[in-house]
A and B are shown apart, each in its own frame.
Chain A
């Protein structure tokens, strides 16, 4: 749709009705992953490696199996051989073969008649290990002579960079990346100021409050069912089928309500174990619920990063050239988001000369999963910190520097292609105009700004909309409702039909009910499922117009759809009273049968989202503790379908970023074991740490969506890391280059500055 056809005013889109699943979720009735049970169900527990790297010499389950009520034990021997590529990675991460690759790596699993019995039985499974040398830090894994995490596993045939590393470094490097344009050396020569810095971020966890949970049932025929908390039931089906060597169609997967995901529930961790145990226990359903420490040790986390950035700037703030060299470890498997980190690193800026180099590195840590804008926050921390430092050195306003270099429609992006309609300039201007920018700051207080970017994603999408016999609409979507999706879809479908918001029922359905759907990931659910639902509704409308035309004896082209009813299009079409959706629905069985529309596509038309954050902090010079005084998020939503849930995404992303900036990190001991696998020690932000989070929704409509929607979920976690660092620099004059900026580190920096 051409963008001038996008309306800015709608009856429903842009309003804030109650979410349809609200009642279930405030009364405790909504069923999440661990809330599902079946008759005859067994309970499972997993035996995990206590070592960061160890050869598995022997697994003896005889004592466990001798316990009354223990029904099955599985090890890698119960899984098929011969998998390759990512399928093998998923299988190996589900259950170790001959080597445990990280602390928490699953080695065996047991099913018994109660959860307590399963836990007791797991303790009786004896595993003999031969401990191997390990490495957990990204820079140490990249250093010459580092212990090899998986000797011989790197496949450099797909590396997109000339090999330039010695062999004893390369053995932990699984991919090398290089891209860019222009002549960076010439660009640095043009600059008035060239600065470089090295920045480091630690691994963090998505930190969803709901641990992974599933009930799996599978018979000897390789057919079964699964009930699971996931961002994507089709991904669960696909990955479980691959790992178990069964046909995908043999497995039917139902997504429960989901207690947070943030990317961490787009893949599998222990789900195939439940199915394998069920098969071995004669097809009895098996429930497997992780503990929090299992979640932290063996699922999710994001990569840790070590990054060099060099930037050239003219006196007026114009950027002339930039180079980024990023090293990231994503655990003992390929797949750290170093490519995405690089692609997003300079995406906000017009850069004639830019070079990106990246290394994907193995370490003895859990396999990283996607976490909200994977890679982008780390890259932003490095780049936005350095730009801030240079702006201060040149006496320029950091927001003006960003405006001067901001990309707009028609500009070449740092990663190559030319931008379509984007809203960065509008976001920066709205930020400058916000009253938070003129609040005076006191001693030890500082203000930091930073900008962030995420592409957003379309993805494989299937949606069905049917006209219900009472004249309402039933929508089947395949993307789990992780934060108000049912409300957003209902608003768009109701708007399209011209019926009430309460007249649309949106169901998240199982894998048997629709074609393939990618998960609720990539900020795509409202965009892609919404767009497919609108297309499906339009198909229903076309059929309803046909039914009216048949009844009136006129051409379908002479019928138009207005406000929930078919009516003759103009006086020449004939004089008939409007026929409402209710009237058409009540007789549809006799006028041609049920009416439904559906849309299956790899969704196009995706629109990127930029955001700018402004944070005011106060740093206590005695303790190094940073307090967030006020926080502002300004971001382009394209169109906010349900503004409350858009604000919620902005606020939630900002606070996850604040946690990453100030406090959260994976702490590994010298023995390679995770030292903080509970929420007491892996401390996420709590209510008393924070002020209200102010938001401004900028709306630069995405021409690729019928209501102008861009994705909004991910961009919000990108600016906080550097924004907080820049605020701390402004408050107490120390430049923190290694996250998290916790009190001991900030205090040490303050002391070093005073002494030096």
Chain B
């Protein structure tokens, strides 16, 4: 099948690749751009391990075609830290032991960052519902929720 030339911006950098029209954005990030931070846990938009933002909207990159990224701004887990400086969410995830195996962590970080940009002071219930599309099989979510709460507090300057 003829491949399509795609130009897009990932984590602030302009990139281009050739995509088979059937390939997902997740496939393109991982296989064309060697950005393997986003993970495929299900391929059906149920687990959130592939979460990225496209023009600021949180999406499962397994449900977006690579060709749809044309001209968009994509943000992934690889772009969360500012150089050597970790984002408060990243620090708090480590501090609170909010990851065991870590496969779901990139998706949780992208989703939680998106939440805190929209709502800097979410309740526990709001966090739980926002993150309900991200599956974690190791932690039972307790420490993830606490890490997000703590990061939010720090970002508000309340910690």
Assess A/B contact in the complex (Cβ within 8 A). yes
Q: Is A346 interfacial (CB-CB < 8 Å)?
A: no
Query: Using a Cβ–Cβ cut-off of 8 Å, how many residues does chain B contribute to the interface with A?
Result: 60
Q: Is A692 interfacial (CB-CB < 8 Å)?
A: yes
Instruction: Judge whether B137 and A260 touch: CB under 8 Å.
Output: yes
Of the stretches A141-149, A667-675, A677-685, the one at the interface is A677-685
> Cβ of A484: which chain B residues have Cβ within 8 Å of it?
97, 100
Within 8 A of A (CB), among B89-131: 90, 93-97, 99-106, 109, 125, 127-129, 131
Measured CA separation A18–B133 after assembly (Å): 27
Residue among B41, B104, B131, B134 with the most chain A CB within 10 A? B41
Q: Is B136 interfacial (CB-CB < 8 Å)?
A: yes
Instruction: Judge whether A678 and B42 touch: CB under 8 Å.
Output: yes
What does the 1/0 interface line of B126-151 toward A look like (CB < 8 Å)? 01110111111111111111100000
Instruction: Judge whether A654 and B140 touch: CB under 8 Å.
Output: yes
Q: Is A656 interfacial (CB-CB < 8 Å)?
A: yes
Instruction: Judge whether B132 and A651 touch: CB under 8 Å.
Output: no
Within 8 A of B (CB), among A23-40: 23, 25-32, 34-35
Measured CA separation A208–B125 after assembly (Å): 25
Measured CA separation A445–B30 after assembly (Å): 48
A369 to chain B, nearest CB (A): 15
Instruction: Judge whether B101 and A210 touch: CB under 8 Å.
Output: yes
Measured CA separation A724–B30 after assembly (Å): 41
For B77, give its contact among A27, A31, A482, A651 (CB under 8 Å). Answer: A27
Q: Is B78 interfacial (CB-CB < 8 Å)?
A: yes
Residue among A30, A289, A642, A686 with the most chain B CB within 10 A? A686
Instruction: Judge whether B46 and A693 touch: CB under 8 Å.
Output: no
Measured CA separation A649–B142 after assembly (Å): 11
B102 to chain A, nearest CB (A): 4
Instruction: Judge whether A209 and B135 touch: CB under 8 Å.
Output: yes
Instruction: Judge whether A483 and B138 touch: CB under 8 Å.
Output: yes
Chain A residue with minimal CB distance to B45? A680
Q: Is B8 interfacial (CB-CB < 8 Å)?
A: no
Measured CA separation A493–B133 after assembly (Å): 39
Within 8 A of B (CB), among A689-728: 689-690, 692-693
Q: Is B61 interfacial (CB-CB < 8 Å)?
A: no
Chain B residue with minimal CB distance to A681? B46
Instruction: Judge whether A645 and B100 touch: CB under 8 Å.
Output: yes
Chain A residue with minimal CB distance to B125? A688
Chain B residue with minimal CB distance to A658? B140
Instruction: Judge whether A25 and B102 touch: CB under 8 Å.
Output: yes
> Cβ of A648: which chain B residues have Cβ within 8 Å of it?
97, 100, 138-140, 143
Instruction: Judge whether B94 and A18 touch: CB under 8 Å.
Output: yes
What does the 1/0 interface line of A641-676 toward B look like (CB < 8 Å)? 010110111011011100000000000000000000
Given A22-B94, A25-B102, decide whether A652 and B140 contact each other with a Cβ distance below 8 A.
yes
Instruction: Judge whether B140 and A651 touch: CB under 8 Å.
Output: yes
Q: Is B70 interfacial (CB-CB < 8 Å)?
A: no
B139 to chain A, nearest CB (A): 5
Measured CA separation A26–B76 after assembly (Å): 12
Q: Is B80 interfacial (CB-CB < 8 Å)?
A: yes
Given A648-B138, A678-B44, A690-B140, decide whether A27 and B81 contact each other with a Cβ distance below 8 A.
yes
Instruction: Judge whether B97 and A651 touch: CB under 8 Å.
Output: no
Chain B residue with minimal CB distance to A694? B142
For A32, give its contact among B39, B142, B143, B145 (CB under 8 Å). Answer: B39
> Cβ of A115: which chain B residues have Cβ within 8 Å of it?
27, 31
Q: Is B38 interfacial (CB-CB < 8 Å)?
A: yes
Q: Is A610 interfacial (CB-CB < 8 Å)?
A: no
Chain B residue with minimal CB distance to A29? B37
Instruction: Judge whether A686 and B132 touch: CB under 8 Å.
Output: yes
> Cβ of B101: which chain A residues have Cβ within 8 Å of it?
208-210, 257-261, 482-483
For B78, give its contact among A27, A210, A262 (CB under 8 Å). Answer: A27
Given A27-B81, A644-B143, decide whether A259 and B102 contact each other with a Cβ distance below 8 A.
yes
Measured CA separation A54–B125 after assembly (Å): 49
Given A26-B94, A26-B99, A28-B37, decide whether A656 and B137 contact each other with a Cβ distance below 8 A.
yes
What does the 1/0 interface line of A293-322 toward B look like (CB < 8 Å)? 000000000000000000000000000000
Q: Is B47 interfacial (CB-CB < 8 Å)?
A: yes
For A19, give its contact among B20, B97, B133, B136 (CB under 8 Å). Answer: B97
Instruction: Judge whether B22 and A31 touch: CB under 8 Å.
Output: no
Residue among A257, A687, A692 with the most chain B CB within 10 A? A687
Measured CA separation A206–B99 after assembly (Å): 17
Measured CA separation A115–B23 after assembly (Å): 10
Instruction: Judge whether B139 and A651 touch: CB under 8 Å.
Output: yes
Given A28-B77, A651-B139, A687-B128, decide whether A259 and B103 contact each other with a Cβ distance below 8 A.
yes
> Cβ of A25: which chain B residues have Cβ within 8 Å of it?
99, 102, 105
Interface residues of A (CB under 8 A from B): 16, 18-19, 21-23, 25-32, 34-35, 115-116, 206-211, 257-262, 289, 291-292, 482-484, 642, 644-645, 647-649, 651-652, 654-656, 678-680, 684-690, 692-693
User: Known contacts A259-B41, A484-B97, A687-B132; can you find 16 more A-B pairs with CB under 8 A?
Assistant: A25-B105, A35-B30, A35-B36, A206-B137, A208-B101, A209-B103, A210-B41, A211-B41, A257-B102, A259-B104, A292-B47, A644-B143, A651-B140, A686-B133, A687-B134, A693-B142
Sort A-B residue pairs by CB-CB distance and give the 5 closest, nearest first.
A28-B37, A259-B103, A655-B140, A483-B100, A651-B140
13 A-B pairs with CB atoms under 8 Å apart are A22-B99, A23-B86, A25-B99, A26-B102, A27-B77, A28-B37, A28-B76, A35-B30, A210-B41, A258-B101, A292-B44, A680-B46, A690-B128
